[in-house]
Structure 1
Amino acid sequence: MRYLPLTQPDRAAMLAAIGASSIDDLFVDVPEAIRLDGPIAGLPGHASELAVERHMTALARKNMSAGDGPFFLGCGAYRHHVPASVDHIIQRGEFLTAYTPYQPEIAQGTLQMLFEFQTQVARLLGTDVANASMYDGSTACWEAIGMARRITRRGKAILSGGLHPHYVSVARTMAKYTGDALDVAVPALTAETDLEALIAKIDGDTSCVVVQYPDILGRIADLRPLADACHAQKALLIAVVTEPVALGAIKSPGEMDADIVVGEGQSIGVGLQFGGPYVGLFGCKDKYVRQMPGRLTGETVDADGRRGFVLTLSTREQHIRREKATSNICTNSGLCALAFSIHMTLLGEAGLRALAAANHAGAVAAAERLAKVPGVRLVNETFFNEFTLDLGREARPIVRALADKGILAGVSLGRLYPDEAGLANGLVIAVTETTTAEDVETLAQALEEVLA
């Protein structure tokens, strides 16, 4: 591809076409306080490739990665063992196709995988149908809210206090441009979830109720009464799953009559990767399939009657007119979906259930040990592989002190909710099959020292 630089008249013509007086007009949505008005102070203007490589390597060595010591971080991103075979298989030629499989005749491997992925996700979430993945869990959550608005023709969404605050933040950002009203709560350091409070808020203007399962504190609730209350007011129930491994042990949201189930698929087949890329899961009841965002892969036959796969119900704005599109998310994280599907295939149903059982057993043992630390209270009565501790004092400095000892000791609620003083003492602990008994004992002893 040739490089064709723009001239000043070219830039002027483009700005005139969109009604902007200058390039600065394109950045009005970026707060002025965080815009750069010149070069970044202290950053050299240029350096050799070797010098940059050495500098970046030195910076990378300052990171403490998940495998460098006891690791208890969770809250939407989890450390699980990904078999080496996953990385091997995703590089096979059957899957090395174009960026997106628009031409089915040369992308049958990718399309068949996506077809199988949809089946796996639908069974996992307990829904009638699932799409060929979304960008990540948080944007899938917002797309579900938008879908509920289209179905119900209402514009008020009720968001549980147990919903991950980053998911809430994405919804707030998008709602500014759609006009949706969001009724948002925050959690409390209690064993009970906020389902009763959510039910009390549902009225004739409600499009949907969004609840996380298990929630941000790790608590698990029966969603059926909430689903019944939603349906009594002709609203939809949206369930968000950030830890899909949990569904190998607990009842799926679809089984409890959730209308739309979304989530983050990172736990299966996809490493932590310092925050991404991840893969969004999206399923719903069959009657709503034509309002589902993203796209589906369908099974068909070719001219010779042979089984084949094609994209169908592609309602992204890439495929149809923007005003008729159900989604403006223009990627489906295909490589991560492939990794998810391979890992899920290797596990099978029995393997997933065994993995879930190992996660839960490890979390129970960890919760029992950590609850014995003087001054620590276990908040949860129910949990899968993640639970919340009340440390009796602000958790953030304690997390920092433990990090200085080489222990990544969970996520402090004060970090997630900096403006909520009532949550400052909370620490969310995640335990997976990668956590050893020695890791738990190391954390318990270090916590005792720091709290003493």
Structure 2
Amino acid sequence: MRYLPHSPADRAEMLAAIGVGSVDELFSAVPASVLSTFSPDLPDHQPEFAVEAHMRALAGRNHAAGDGPFFVGAGAYRHHVPATVDHLIQRSEWLTAYTPYQPEVSQGTLQMLFEFQTQVAHLTGMEVANASMYDGSTATAEAVLMARRITRRDKVVLSGGLHPQYRDTVVTYLSGEEGLTCLSPSPEGQGDIVDHIDEGTAAIVVQTPDFYGHLRDVPALARAAHEKGALLIVVVTEIVSLGLIEAPGALGADIVVAEGQSIGNPLTFGGPYVGLLACREKFVRQMPGRLCGETVDAQGRRGFVLTLSTREQHIRREKATSNICTNSGLCALAFSIHLSLLGETGLTRLARLNHARACALADALAAVPGVEVLNESFFNEMTIRLPRAAAQIVDALAARGILAGVPVSRLQPGEPDVDRLIVLAATELTTDADIAALVEALKGELA
């Protein structure tokens, strides 16, 4: 969107329309004590072409994921998104109103969301899914609130393998409230969340594959939680893994939340993304967000409507099921189109290819002197331990054009025993040449 400045005549006309004599009068309600008393040291104005050239130069300093070997994951993953997805999301059938409260003019959006919900329910092995959330972290926090409403208990236990940013989001949501237990980081899969479950526990939150790449024993966790009357919330940050790993719903999960970015949505410098939330049908009345359903019109023709929406409670905000009153419509559309193009067979092949690339990466890293791979199990992500500070190694490799993963200390500053750890991911876009370049550069830095 281009910036088009207003002329003095434009400003005068707008001020007159609202009955204000000047811009200063417009802001007269702002106390003088909070107004700035200095002039910002900004450069003189420039012509449009000069500003564009400056912005292009700044953009040229970025090192994009496709510019070289790329092993960054930790909740957002580089996958191939077919050009068909970008073409189809721009078709007029989907360009309906932002909020589909008028079904007669929103059938494209509503049907897409209905299909999206069906796909998410199948992927997660659950009975019902909503029309998406903002992202995986807020979906996790909403699932925690949902579990507390269902069980009428307060205690929630977060696994040490939960993504640190997801944990922080839950902490923010429950700020000032009691009952939240955050277990210590478990880079080697250690720690037993089962020991923290008691009769006052509303839910345990477990990620699989977890932040460090480990696969967790979901059935055992489900049994332990259910024996105490608690719910099991399973978090999936790499949704492609469900093409190969059994669905959490089939393993005993009560609520499944996930980040759907990997399907249909590029990295885009961190967002927007699309949160997935699915649950047992008996919990649907406590599910946040909105739910699209199927019906028939007066002539008996198939149609779609908003069946449930927490926005209906917005006039009683403190009593609302959720105060997230929307969904990530465009990202959900991209997800649904890409998954439709893949189909079940395609998703399975994509997942197998991701795992094969990760196996090749793990084998290559394990052969580097001084590198220890901590995972006995993984999907497409793993954690390694180096003989010295990981952040320094990552920075040195970045200077060589190799993005070698995420130092754990970046997301868990101050935690003990994490400063030498790196989380790395491999996807279908990771080549043998990428792995070889990483290995050789790593050997050089560790020599």
Q: Report the TM-score, using the length of structure 2 for normalisation.
A: 0.91
Question: Residue 277 in 1 paired to residue 275 in 2?
Answer: no
Say if 1:295 and 1:311, in contact at 8 Å, map to a contact too: yes
| Shift of residue 144, structure 1, vs aligned partner | 0.4
Instruction: Give the equivalent residue in structure 1 for 2:94.
Output: 95
| Shift of residue 267, structure 1, vs aligned partner | 0.1
Cα distance, 1:343–1:11 mapped onto 2, change above 3 Å = same
Q: How does 1:38-77 map to 2 (within 5 A)?
A: 43-44=42-43, 46-77=45-76
Say if 2:273 and 2:328, in contact at 8 Å, map to a contact too: yes
Cα distance, 1:37–1:266 mapped onto 2, change above 3 Å = farther
- Give deviations 1:338-359, integer Å, cap 9, x for gaps: 0000000000000000000000
Q: How does 1:23-422 map to 2 (within 5 A)?
A: 43-44=42-43, 46-176=45-175, 179-190=177-188, 192-194=189-191, 197-316=192-311, 321-422=316-417
- Give deviations 1:356-379, integer Å, cap 9, x for gaps: 000000100110011100000110
- Give deviations 1:238-294, integer Å, cap 9, x for gaps: 111000000000111111111100010000000000000000000001110000000
Cα distance, 1:37–1:267 mapped onto 2, change above 3 Å = farther
Cα distance, 1:297–1:434 mapped onto 2, change above 3 Å = same
Measured in 1, the distance between the counterparts of 2:224 and 2:28 equals 56
Say if 1:161 and 1:184, in contact at 8 Å, map to a contact too: yes
Report the structure number with the largest CA radius of gyration: 2
Measured in 1, the distance between the counterparts of 2:157 and 2:337 equals 36
| Shift of residue 98, structure 1, vs aligned partner | 1.1
Say if 2:294 and 2:304, in contact at 8 Å, map to a contact too: yes
Measured in 2, the distance between the counterparts of 1:46 and 1:175 equals 46
| Shift of residue 5, structure 1, vs aligned partner | 6.1
| Shift of residue 153, structure 1, vs aligned partner | 1.3
Say if 1:188 and 1:423, in contact at 8 Å, map to a contact too: no
Instruction: Give the equivalent residue in structure 2 for 1:27.
Output: none
Cα distance, 1:299–1:182 mapped onto 2, change above 3 Å = same
Measured in 2, the distance between the counterparts of 1:421 and 1:258 equals 31
What is the letter of the counterpart of residue 407 of structure 2?
S
Say if 1:129 and 1:285, in contact at 8 Å, map to a contact too: yes
Measured in 1, the distance between the counterparts of 2:372 and 2:400 equals 22
Instruction: Give the equivalent residue in structure 2 for 1:33.
Output: none
Measured in 2, the distance between the counterparts of 1:203 and 1:148 equals 15
Cα distance, 1:321–1:416 mapped onto 2, change above 3 Å = same
- Give deviations 1:112-147, integer Å, cap 9, x for gaps: 110000000011111110000000000000000110
Measured in 1, the distance between the counterparts of 2:175 and 2:197 equals 22
Measured in 1, the distance between the counterparts of 2:294 and 2:266 equals 30
Question: Residue 439 in 1 paired to residue 437 in 2?
Answer: no
Measured in 1, the distance between the counterparts of 2:190 and 2:249 equals 19
| Shift of residue 204, structure 1, vs aligned partner | 2.0
Corresponding residue SS for 2:324: coil
Measured in 2, the distance between the counterparts of 1:39 and 1:75 equals 43
What is the letter of the counterpart of residue 54 of structure 1?
A
Measured in 1, the distance between the counterparts of 2:42 and 2:98 equals 35
Say if 1:245 and 1:268, in contact at 8 Å, map to a contact too: yes
Measured in 2, the distance between the counterparts of 1:40 and 1:412 equals 40
Say if 1:188 and 1:422, in contact at 8 Å, map to a contact too: no
What is the letter of the counterpart of residue 123 of structure 1?
H
Say if 2:313 and 2:319, in contact at 8 Å, map to a contact too: no
Measured in 2, the distance between the counterparts of 1:352 and 1:284 equals 22
What is the letter of the counterpart of residue 90 of structure 2?
Q
Say if 2:310 and 2:323, in contact at 8 Å, map to a contact too: no
Say if 2:290 and 2:325, in contact at 8 Å, map to a contact too: no
| Shift of residue 320, structure 1, vs aligned partner | 5.7
Measured in 1, the distance between the counterparts of 2:27 and 2:155 equals 42
Q: When the two structures are aligned, how many residues end up with a matched partner?
A: 430
Where in structure 2 are there 5+ consecutive unaligned residues? 1-13
- Give deviations 1:170-195, integer Å, cap 9, x for gaps: 11111115x243211232332x343x
Where in structure 1 are there 5+ consecutive unaligned residues? 16-20, 25-35
The worse-fitting range, judged by mean Cα deviation, of 40-49 and 312-321 is 40-49
Instruction: Give the equivalent residue in structure 1 for 2:8.
Output: none
What is the letter of the counterpart of residue 176 of structure 1?
S
| Shift of residue 327, structure 1, vs aligned partner | 1.2
Cα distance, 1:45–1:237 mapped onto 2, change above 3 Å = farther
Measured in 2, the distance between the counterparts of 1:208 and 1:305 equals 43
Say if 1:269 and 1:344, in contact at 8 Å, map to a contact too: yes
Measured in 1, the distance between the counterparts of 2:316 and 2:288 equals 14
Say if 1:157 and 1:180, in contact at 8 Å, map to a contact too: no
| Shift of residue 451, structure 1, vs aligned partner | 0.7
Measured in 2, the distance between the counterparts of 1:313 and 1:361 equals 41
Say if 1:293 and 1:316, in contact at 8 Å, map to a contact too: no
What is the letter of the counterpart of residue 285 of structure 2?
R
Corresponding residue SS for 2:57: helix
Measured in 2, the distance between the counterparts of 1:365 and 1:171 equals 35
Cα distance, 1:199–1:49 mapped onto 2, change above 3 Å = same
User: RMSD of the TM alignment (CA)?
Assistant: 2.3
- Give deviations 1:1-38, integer Å, cap 9, x for gaps: x786696898788x9xxxxx9997xxxxxxxxxxx977
- Give deviations 1:291-350, integer Å, cap 9, x for gaps: 000000000000000000001111136766323321112331100000000000000000
Say if 2:358 and 2:425, in contact at 8 Å, map to a contact too: yes
| Shift of residue 215, structure 1, vs aligned partner | 0.2
Percent of matched pairs sharing the same residue: 60
Measured in 1, the distance between the counterparts of 2:409 and 2:179 equals 26
| Shift of residue 48, structure 1, vs aligned partner | 4.0
